[in-house]
Amino acid sequence: MLPTYSSSRASQTGRAPVPATQVTVEALDEAGRGIVRIDGRAVLVEGALEGETIVCRARKRRRQVQQADLLEVREAAPSRIDPVCRHFDTCGGCRIQHMSHDAQLALKQQGLLRAFSAHGGLAPDTLVEALAGSPQGYRRRARLGVKYVPGKGGALVGFREKQGAKLAELETCAVLEPRVGGEIKNIRRLIDKLTISHRIPQLEIAMGDAGTALVLRHLEPLSESDCETLVAFVRERDWQLYLQPAGPDSVAPLWPVNPPPLSYALPAFDLEFEFLPMDFIQVNAAMNHALVGVAMKHLDLHADCRVLDLFCGIGNFSLAVARHGVAQVLGVEGDPGLVARAAHNARRNRIDNASFVSADLNRMEEQWSWRRETWDRLLLDPPRSGAGEVLSALDGQLPQRIVYISCNPQSLARDAEFLVRRKAYRLSHAGIVDMFPHTAHCEAIAVFDRG
């Protein structure tokens, strides 16, 4: 039986409903939404797949992009599957769970290639096979919204709804690691028990290979009974609990008083990393293992290599490079706390050929001595804004090879155009990394060679 969907938007607004329209989905946009034509205009339909015959109803246009609500799928695409999560229709955390995993990978790969093509007509010499793993239970870090809604029985915990800014009413989450994904309902009940349940706006979850930490943001002081309730909950699950009464710098442990650091291992490189709950780490442990391995392969390291690792975080890539016995690795990161953790991880793994410095890589500074040095390899893993500023600031002899890890194909493509057109590099390899299955978010890796 083909899926049908209900749309109550017209009844909620009191307006007469717009007539429904049967159309064929022409293509998908980069967010995985179907593109159809209604009265000659392109309209986006969430939940529709390419080639499908659907019935949809256009919304009143409020934004630059016209959208329509999917009412019924009359002829389904071969790539359509049943979503694994029962909250898929409402929760906006996963937008393409109705699409087979292979189709998801193809969508992301096409988006990456389109981004390169739009920036100077670029295309990689070799398209690297997609890195992919299990699409369920993969997420070990998440920020979850919290809202106390008496009309819905109490606290809501989770992600925003697909249509709007309200929180979806969740009891489980199929993409969070099961030790937390299966506890959403119990976390909601925990919030309900607090005297300031209406003043809890969010919580963060961070998981190591074994340990789990919960960071609770609260806008009013917790009572003694609140603290006892929270501690009893985490002790029963052997979790750690941190409180955040203000900004990120206010995060402090409640239980245990001196919690051990969270940690994860990269067994292929005989490495173990310690990190704090608010530190950046790759959210998908299996994909991180694979990504580090592929990055090392493409770096093509040898014993005399001097390697510069920009946006190094806690040393995730730097220490794997150092394990190859290269001459020197320098990791550069803007967050002094992450730099301290990277140096600590080097010491605890008995690595002496890696060092770390702090620098704001979004602005050029004359005192950056490392930017005038000669490096054999450059590794980058920047935020969504990309690495345009620091690439422009490198004054020394440019490395023979650059390996660029990206969480945004658009900024990657922009920086690729700069490297190819302005610095005479060749885009030799590129491919996607399925770091966030069931979402349209695309992680990618690209390799650039001189000449």
Domain boundaries, the chain: 9-80, 106-134+284-450, 141-260
pLDDT at 10: 40
Query: How do 262-266 and 271-275 pair as beta strands?
Result: antiparallel
pLDDT in tens, 258-275: 999 999 999 999 999 999
C-alpha dist (Å) from residue 341 to 206, 242, 295, 337, 356? 16, 19, 22, 6, 10
Tokens of 51: 């080639």
- Homologous superfamily of domain range 106-134+284-450: Vaccinia Virus protein VP39 (3.40.50.150)
Where are the alpha helices (H) located in 349-448, listed in sequence order?
Answer: 388-393, 409-423
- 148 C-beta neighbours (distance < 10 Å), count: 18
Q: Say yes or no: do domains 9-80 and 141-260 share a fold.
A: yes
Q: At what angle do helices 184-193 and 224-237 cross, to 10 degrees?
A: 160
Residue identified by tokens 């890539």 is 317
Q: How far out from the chain centre does Cα 49 lie?
A: 23
Output the pTM of the full model: 0.92
What is the amino acid identity at position 449? D
Dihedral of CA atoms 284, 47, 87, 74 in degrees, nearest 10, equals: -140
pLDDT at 112: 97
The ranges of the chain with pLDDT < 50 are 7-13
SS3 231: helix
CATH topology of domain 9-80: OB fold (Dihydrolipoamide Acetyltransferase, E2P) (2.40.50)
Tokens of 334: 């803007």
Pick the CATH number of 141-260 from 2.40.50.1070, 3.40.50.460, 3.40.50.300, 2.40.50.100: 2.40.50.1070
Closest CA to 187 of 199, 208, 203: 203
How far is 178 from 229, CA to CA, in rounded Å? Answer: 23
Dihedral of CA atoms 188, 191, 193, 198 in degrees, nearest 10, equals: -120
SS3 69: strand
pLDDT in tens, 276-333: 999 999 999 999 999 999 999 999 999 999 999 999 999 999 999 999 999 999 999 9
Q: Which residues are catalytic?
A: 407
Asked if 55 and 47 touch (Cβ cutoff 8 Å), the reply is: no
pLDDT at 3: 66
